[in-house]
Amino acid sequence: MKYSRTQLLKAFSGLLILVSALVACNSDENDLGLGILPKEDLINVRNISVSDKISSFTFTENGIVSNKSDYNLLGTFNDPVFGKTTVDYAAQFRLTSYPDFGTNPVVDSVRLYIFYRNVYGDTLTQQHIKVYELETYLDPDAEYTQDIDLKSMASDVPLAEFDFTPKVELDSATQDTNFQMLTIPLDNSLGEKLVYADSLDLINNDVFLQYFKGLFIESEDVSGKGALITLHTMATSTFQGSALLVYYNNDENMDLEEGESPDTLSRAFLITDYSARISGIEHDYTGTPFFDHLDQEDVEDDVVYVQPTGGLKSRITISGLENWKDSTNMGINKAEIVFHVDTVKSDIHNYPPPSQLMFTFVAPDEEEYRPIDYFFNPVFYGGYLDTSDYSYSFNITQHVQRIIDVTDPEDDDFVGNQGFFLTTGRRVDIANRVVMKSAKNDGVEMRITYSKFLD
């Protein structure tokens, strides 16, 4: 399917000529929606608002890549609307230089330091995690999806069990969220593996990552609502990132004068941009209001559900768009679809909606694609949360025009009208979900401005 600049100019050329020739402007509210167009051939502009032709259905998302983001999630979240979400985490730790542990090193302790910044959910529920050593190599260049079974890739023997209660603190000056740090004591056996490693296993990172493949952090069930925290694990030029530190002593630092105490040494192993960082995500929708008709189109939803983390997307159908091809000399000036948040069911104060959603179309091959309007200008295309009325608006003018103009399935520009999907803009590294009103509850409308004109 091609979306060239030439085709983009073709889609707009007729409209640019039309705008210069407009002599009148009318506004009609057409309750029949897309089924009726003016019969008279006037050079004018008309507006209609459509809702009765729009239907929504709840589907699960599959195949979301969970290792190509700068951030990862961790935790267990019992959402009152969306059910239970459990997110585990695995990562590689890399050498920063050749580790010289000195003469006769002895491990003192091992600590895993993990930074997080955002918490989505309940900050009163205690989280319980377990840490294991990975036994399967992770390929940083491969793509891993959210349904990966990380536990099967790790040892059966935990290196740590750790409880923590997520917290959020704001910087008093900037009102930005401060970083929080988890300090997790690990079993000394891991430190001994690293300190007593053969020198050939430490010559470079390619060899080292075959020797020490990384750590797996498993999130256990929680008794309350729980939450998901956003991990900041990758080291950058301005942020030290999360790290594994081995504390040790050796003959050199133990050679002290009488009465002096040794200054324990340490060696850091870092999570970097070159490390594999993977989220394993599991959803349990048992008992949710949409569970019985999930992934079906026989029951229309009363509300629209959108959830990231490989969770839920809404399939949107707009019937009749393809029938506009029967009306000659007609151009779409603007086509906009608007979704309104159900602020009560979504509980926006406790569970803020995502800052952006994505509206994609279903092509004849049943794959999802972004409409041509997005590539023309992402800001013009929209999808951002408007907090003045808690709505999301998408400008799909060129896409609708293409549905009307291109009717031959053999044409490279043919898109058809197989429906759309509404998802979050970021699908793997945020937890913000949203409940919106459906069209039958006056929560979704399509506003179309069109012109019909003489040859």
User: Can you tell me the distance from the alpha carbon of 279 to that of 69, in angstroms, rounded to the nearest whole number?
Assistant: 10
How far apart are the C-alpha atoms of 332 and 330, rounded to whole Å? Answer: 7
Q: Which of 68, 48, 9 is nearest to 320 (CA)?
A: 48
pLDDT at position 48 is 83
Q: Which pLDDT score is estimated for 18? A: 35
Per-residue pLDDT, 405:
87
Residue 48 CA, distance from chain mean position: 34
Q: What is the pLDDT of residue 17?
A: 36
pLDDT given for residue 321 in this prediction = 80
pLDDT in tens, 202-224: 999 999 999 999 999 999 999 99
380, containing H or E segment: helix 378-381
DSSP per-residue codes, 327-368: SSSEEEEEEEEEEEB-HHHHTTTTSPPPSBEEEEEE-TTS-E
Instruction: Give the chain's residues under pLDDT 70.
Output: 1-43, 171-176, 256-259, 325-329, 453-455
Per-residue model confidence (pLDDT) at position 326: 59
- List Cβ neighbours of 312 (8 Å cut-off, separation of 6 or more): 58, 59, 60, 61, 82, 290, 305, 306, 433
What would the pLDDT profile of 59-108 be if each residue is shown by its tens digit? Answer: 999 889 999 898 999 999 999 999 999 999 999 999 999 999 999 999 99
Distance CA 364, CA 170 (A): 48
Q: What is the pLDDT of residue 190?
A: 98
**Alpha-helical regions (H) of 226-291:** 251-254
Residue 211 host element (H or E): helix 205-211
Predicted local confidence at residue 239, as pLDDT = 81
Identity of the residue numbered 288 = T
In the chain, what are the domain boundaries?
5-62+294-452, 72-275
Buried b (16+ CB within 10 A) or exposed e, 348-359: beebbbbebbbb
> What's the predicted TM-score (pTM) here?
0.86
